[in-house]
A and B are shown apart, each in its own frame.
Chain A
Amino acid sequence: MIAPQPDGPIIVIDDDEAMRRACQAALRRAGYEVETYADGESGLKRMAEVGAGLLVVDLKMPGMGGMEVINRIKKINPDIVAIVITGFATVSTAVEAMKAGAYDFIPKPFTAEELRVIIARGMERRRLAQEAKKLRQEKEAQARKFITFVSHQLKAPLGAVKQYLDVLCHDAMDSIPDQYQPWMQRSCAKINSMLEVIDDWLTISKVEGGHLATQRVPVRWQDLIESVKETCATMARDGEVRVTAELPADLPPVIGDATALRMALSNLVVNAVKYNHPGGEVRITAGTDAETVAVSVADTGGGVAAEDVDHIFEEFYRSKDERHVSKGGTGMGLPICKRIVEELGGRIALDNRPGEGATFTVELPRAEREPAS
């Protein structure tokens, strides 16, 4: 009796028919569910369908070799345990294969018992890896739940304190002695940045749950850009930064979620204004090709510091760059942008010009039709 394996069948790929039969017989006798394929293409196709947990593959095959099969399946199923069959049992071939991601090797010729021992080890390895992954996911889910809980707990009282302070600054500043007035303003600013952090934590925990960009409808960048320009107007005026948008009149809509995309764009424009200088400029431009629409936000700030370039899209990453530390921020703006854009099947890229500025470009799939108005 062969019970179906929760991870799908063991896939054996070998161009030698006698070898396929022998493997199948030996593994079936040991109680495994097995499927065999004569070439890499058909084996890969099947693995993509069933999401196999364990692969046994011959290294030397006409057409696609065993290494290429492993490389390709690892791209779509990185957790698969791959065991290679090596025709000539040289240590170097086996080492090469294991360096490239194979878990173990079995030299030809081998007995049914030898095969079963290696498969049993591979299955055990698979089980442990799955358990570790599950534990890691549970831990991450716990951490997110905790962040969400703490954020909600902090948000209400902090919001109330902020409103007290704002009202005091608005209505009662005159009755506060001059020397203490800056303290009031500093307190407001600190609380503002705490609230920003909390909102970003809540946003990222929503994004993690995949709840942020929930819609897939045609969205017009023109509308989003107008609305973001409006919300950033005060900040831009205070920083003496000019925000301009030059869009082709016939810019097609993209497929996305208007609320999430507005948030992503707003993060980019706010950064571009914040890390700029008085008299500086933020230019929003757009372009399109047959399949995508790209929107770019270019600033005339100092650009991203060399040591930060590889990290700016990482969650909780904060630059040590002096110019940035003084501006506050949560370290979550760009990771949130990236997640939103990627959730919608798009890409975000940085074109960094040290000393001159930075350009962030968001590329999203074009929509077939105009949004319903």
Chain B
Amino acid sequence: MTARRTVLIIDDDGDYRASTRSLLEREGYTVVEADSGRKGLEAARSKSPDLIVLDIMMESPVEGYSVVQALKFHGEYDDVREIPVVMVSSIQQDPADLFGMAGDVAMITPEAYFTKPLEINSFLQCVRRMLPQDD
């Protein structure tokens, strides 16, 4: 029996964190939360999550991008570079547009993208695919 998988939710909206947390805990994941990009980056190192669910618009309208950029490119996050990231945003936008924009700042594409509120079944399917639970 291995340790339970941990998901880090980075979102400045407490309501979204609470409902997403409940959803993931019921699936058997351990959940940790951060309410800003900065705290999210700290938690990525201190809590060593297996997956990050990351909101795009927080302190800045593109805060989520700054977080991914730091995770993937800054030397101090070497240990957590490989953690997959699921991006979420309440703006309905074609991900291709978003990632086109991200491309301008040498960003890499996150592993998945969802609009908020989450479509529960497809979100859970995606999480299960990325984090198979040991039984």
Contact = CB atoms under 8 A, between A and B. Distances in A.
Q: Do A and B bind each other?
A: yes
Nearest to A191: B117
Interface of B: 13, 15-16, 18-20, 22-23, 26, 90, 92, 94, 97, 116-118, 120
| Leading 7 A-B pairs by shortest Cβ distance | A160-B15, A163-B117, A162-B117, A163-B19, A167-B19, A159-B117, A259-B94
Chain A facing B: main interface SS: helix
Contacts of A155: 90
Chain B facing A: main interface SS: helix
B13 A160 contact: yes
A123 B50 CA distance: 73
A171 B13 contact: no
Contact of A171 (B16, B23, B97, B117): B23
Interface of A: 155-157, 159-164, 166-167, 170-171, 195, 199, 259
Contacts, number: 42
B19 A164 contact: yes
A166 B117 contact: yes
B26 A171 contact: yes
| Max chain B Cβ within 10 angstroms of own Cβ: one of A160, A164, A259 | A160
Contacts of A161: 15
Contacts of A156: 13, 90
Contacts of B22: 167, 171
Contacts of A167: 19, 22-23, 120
Given A170-B23, A171-B26, A163 B116 contact: yes
Contacts of B13: 156, 160
| Max chain B Cβ within 10 angstroms of own Cβ: one of A155, A159, A163, A199 | A163
